[in-house]
Amino acid sequence: MPRSIWKGAISFGLVTIPVKLFSATEEKDVSFRQVHPEDGGRIKYKRVCEKCGKEIPYAEIAKGYEMPDGRMVILEAEDFATLPLATTKAVEVVQFVGEDEIDPTYFAKTYFLEAEGSGAKPYVLLRDALVKSGRSALVKVALRSRESLALVRPKDNMLLMHTMLWPDELRDGSFAAPAEDVTVSDAEVAMAQNFIDALAGDFKPEEYADSYREAVEALVESKLDGTELVAEEEPQEAEVVDLVAALRASVDAAKKRREQATADDESDAEPKRSSKAKKKAG
């Protein structure tokens, strides 16, 4: 079981719910070391003070806040522990909202909320009330040296908390929108909808994998074994002149892939059915 990263309470009106917070996600990206290519030795960095030139151990490094006029204010761990901020130990519910009201761009990180001690009953009360109301709790909480908005919502018999960015942390992306004079025809939109329908289905995350990570791992294995990887052919990028024709071809290709996938699933299931039939016959 992972270690909790925070302990506090959810303030649900006059009801208090003691909780522990656990990270709900972990990144499994490919990690590399910076090394000297001649001998494989790892590259190390020293933390050196720019004024005195001394190497400073990590444990002795403090946090400094630089004022606009250049003055540096040194902050100690005790300073943060005494911050006049209620949300350092309490998740304050500020509003109840529909989950679809919040743009997913706001979401930063996901956590599990676990009831602690006497918090089990009020935890279940909040969870079930949110389920029946079809709403989520918008809260404020201070985690890891910053206060955040967050959304508490029920999922699979538990409560999840999604920390959120503040509005001024979202960049203006209007520059990325196409020019207003770019238009498409009804036929092009209809064919695009056909392509969407051809690939529509239920989201099954277990069907997807990180191909890049798998490719890097295969590359590392080939380096160890002294074998050569067969390079994938790069797709040829063709200039699209007729959007409707291109989309029609895309729809046909998508249907063929789906039919092939269905046939593969049925062929995989056939040995299982045959095995069961033999057992019954025996």
What would the mean pLDDT of 245-249 be, rounded to a whole number? 78
Residues 6+ apart with CB under 8 A from 65: 72, 73, 75
Up-side HSE of residue 135: CA atoms within 13 Å toward CB? 10
Contact 74, 62 (CB under 8 A): yes
pTM confidence score = 0.68
Alpha helices, DSSP H, located in 106-229: 120-133, 186-198, 211-225
Contact 245, 192 (CB under 8 A): no
Model pLDDT, residue 19: 92
The CATH classification number of 6-26+82-169 equals: 2.40.290.10
Task: Name the E strands within the chain.
Answer: 6-12, 15-23, 63-66, 72-75, 90-97, 107-115, 136-143, 146-155, 158-164
* Of 67 and 264, more confident: 67
Residues 6+ apart with CB under 8 A from 192: 247
Residues 6+ apart with CB under 8 A from 87: 140, 141, 142, 147
Helix (H) or strand (E) holding 280: helix 243-281
Domain ranges of the chain: 6-26+82-169, 178-281
C-alpha distance from residue 105 to each of 17, 102, 134, 138, 268 (Å): 29, 8, 21, 16, 40
For residue 35, what are its two tokens?
Answer: 């090394």
Residue 126: pLDDT over 80: yes
In which residue are the tokens 């309470």 written?
A: 9
Q: Which amino acid is at 158?
A: M
State pLDDT tens for residues 129-143. Answer: 999 999 999 999 888
State pLDDT tens for residues 166-224. Answer: 999 999 989 889 999 989 889 888 888 888 888 888 888 888 788 878 888 888 888 78
List the Cα angle 63/68/72 in 5-degree steps: 30
State how far the Cα of 28 lies from the Cα of 216, in Å rounded to an integer.
13
C-alpha distance from residue 59 to each of 19, 47, 277 (Å): 30, 11, 67
